């Protein structure tokens, strides 16, 4: 399917030529969520794109045991989507994404999860952003949470725990991007070293392990590429009923907290001894913040839940420090500073 930019669009320098040659591979990694995948593929069939832009969809079936192959086959037979399918036996979001990158060849790789519903104009907005910033390394759109069951009010301030990306109405350079709907220049991914060997774990099956999304963004930026927020590229991130439970929020807050020490290590400009001193101070600060928050809520008879989330995240951060310390010297050496560059330090 060939769709693309208008030939009369004008941009400085070589931007029109680069944009006209752009090709997108939308990679969907999925594990035992056939019904949700069916909805995502139906939504993708409504995507609009400027003529000349080549785009395709690859479903990476990550060791599913449900009807995922049949769902993909149904959409292939419909002939609406430029759709391919591969099976990846190694369970985990990072291995699945790696397989998606190796199985595609487009200039741009978009990671779309099996609960991400792209608005019809999403690809148009991404193509326009690339035309305006032809050297950008990564892009991310507006990610809105679509709750199937309305959560408690306490959830409002923790949208980041669910990959919400609401950074205003103006496009801008950013320091990081959420993984849902992240679009990456293939050359930037390769230059970052991520394709040769991811360093941090991500979700495995139903286990909430986090860090892989942030590693990709950090390493691309550390390689000297800009990251851009594109608010016109809108995506709905579907939140099924179990995610509305407070226990789920606590689990994901712990997982995010546990990933942060490793992410700090990735971009650390100094040595391991300096990092340990930083980590100890940061752990103390986070626990103090959580305790002050708990005390304030009790004194003012306000809801305790936000403070409890901070406390659980602080405990996760502490666990993450222990995980880093448990690494062998060789493992730590591979991680420390892997996403560091003067470009990041000056930004």
Contact between residue 262 and residue 320 where contact means Cβ atoms under 8 Å apart: yes
Look at residues 218, 244, 270 and tell me which one is the last residue of a structural domain.
Answer: 244
Which of the four pLDDT bands, split at 50, 70 and 90, describes residue 96? very high
Beta bridge partners of 87: 61
- Burial profile 40-56: b = 16 or more Cβ within 10 angstroms, e = fewer: bbebbeebebbebbbbb
Same domain? 234 vs 276: no
Tokens of 56: 């395709």
For 294-329, the pLDDT digits (tens) are: 888 777 777 788 889 999 999 999 999 999 999 999
pLDDT beyond 80 at 288: yes
User: Residue 198: its pLDDT value, please?
Assistant: 87
User: Residue 8: its pLDDT value, please?
Assistant: 36
Look at residues 181, 210, 244 and tell me which one is the last residue of a structural domain.
Answer: 244
pTM of the full structure: 0.87
Same domain? 218 vs 119: yes
Cα separation, 39 vs 180, in Å, equals: 16
Average pLDDT for 85-101: 95
Same domain? 119 vs 265: no
* Alpha-carbon separation of residue 228 from 134, 183, 217, 263 (angstroms): 11, 10, 11, 20
Contact between residue 138 and residue 225 where contact means Cβ atoms under 8 Å apart: yes
* Alpha-carbon separation of residue 157 from 6, 187, 199, 292, 306 (angstroms): 41, 36, 30, 17, 8
227-239 and 116-118 as β-strands: parallel, antiparallel, unpaired?
antiparallel
Same domain? 294 vs 280: yes
Beta bridge partners of 60: 29, 86
User: Residue 296: its pLDDT value, please?
Assistant: 80
Tokens of 178: 């959420």
For 167-195, the pLDDT digits (tens) are: 999 999 999 999 999 999 999 999 999 99
Contact between residue 257 and residue 141 where contact means Cβ atoms under 8 Å apart: no
Beta bridge partners of 170: none
Same domain? 147 vs 215: yes
Same domain? 326 vs 181: no
Which of 134, 120, 243, 123 is CA-nearest to residue 183? 123
Look at residues 223, 244, 265 and tell me which one is the last residue of a structural domain.
Answer: 244
108-113 and 53-62 as β-strands: parallel, antiparallel, unpaired?
unpaired
For 229-269, the pLDDT digits (tens) are: 999 999 999 999 999 999 999 999 999 999 999 999 999 99
State the residue range of the domain holding 229: 2-244
Contact between residue 258 and residue 317 where contact means Cβ atoms under 8 Å apart: yes
pLDDT beyond 70 at 205: no
Contact between residue 178 and residue 213 where contact means Cβ atoms under 8 Å apart: yes
User: Residue 12: its pLDDT value, please?
Assistant: 33
Same domain? 152 vs 261: no
How many domains, in total, are found in the chain? 2
Question: What DSSP string runs through 86-141?
Answer: EEE-S-SHHHHHHHHHHT---SEEEEEETTEEE-TTHHHHHHHHHHHSTT--EEEE
Cα separation, 263 vs 257, in Å, equals: 10
| Radius of gyration for the alpha carbons in the chain, expressed in angstroms and rounded | 21
Cα 71-32-200 angle, rounded to 5 deg? 125
Which of the four pLDDT bands, split at 50, 70 and 90, describes residue 21? low
């Amino acid at each position: 399917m060939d769709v693309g930019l208008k030939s009369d669009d004008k941009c400085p320098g070589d931007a029109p030529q680069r944009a006209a040659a752009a090709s997108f591979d939308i990679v969907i990694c999925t594990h035992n969520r056939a019904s949700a995948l069916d909805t995502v593929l139906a939504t993708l069939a409504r995507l609009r794109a400027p003529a000349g832009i080549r785009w395709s969809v690859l479903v990476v079936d990550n060791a599913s045991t449900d009807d995922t192959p049949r769902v993909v086959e149904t959409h292939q037979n419909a002939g609406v989507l430029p759709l391919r399918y591969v099976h990846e036996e190694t369970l985990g979001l990072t291995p699945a994404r790696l397989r998606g990158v190796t199985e595609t060849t487009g200039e741009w790789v978009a990671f779309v999860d099996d609960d991400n519903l792209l608005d019809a104009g999403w690809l148009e907005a991404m193509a326009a952003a690339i035309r305006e910033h032809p050297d950008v390394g990564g892009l991310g759109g507006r990610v809105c949470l679509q709750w199937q069951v309305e959560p408690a009010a306490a959830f409002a301030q923790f949208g980041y725990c669910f990959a919400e990306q609401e950074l205003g109405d103006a496009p801008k350079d950013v320091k990081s991007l959420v993984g849902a709907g992240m679009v990456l220049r293939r050359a930037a991914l390769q230059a970052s070293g991520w394709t040769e060997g991811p360093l941090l774990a991500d979700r495995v099956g139903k286990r909430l392990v986090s860090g892989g999304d942030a590693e990709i963004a950090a390493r691309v930026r550390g390689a000297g590429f800009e990251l851009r927020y594109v608010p016109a590229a809108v995506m709905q991130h579907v939140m099924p009923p179990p995610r509305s439970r407070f226990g789920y929020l606590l689990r994901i807050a712990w997982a995010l907290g546990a990933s942060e020490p490793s992410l700090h290590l990735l971009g650390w400009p100094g040595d391991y001894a300096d990092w340990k001193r930083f980590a100890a101070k940061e752990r103390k600060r986070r626990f103090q913040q959580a305790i002050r928050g708990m005390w304030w809520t009790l004194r003012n008879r306000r809801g305790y839940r936000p403070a409890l989330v901070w406390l659980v995240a602080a405990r996760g951060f502490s666990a993450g420090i222990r995980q880093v310390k448990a690494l062998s010297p060789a493992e730590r050496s591979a991680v420390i500073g892997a996403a560091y560059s003067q470009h990041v330090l000056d930004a």
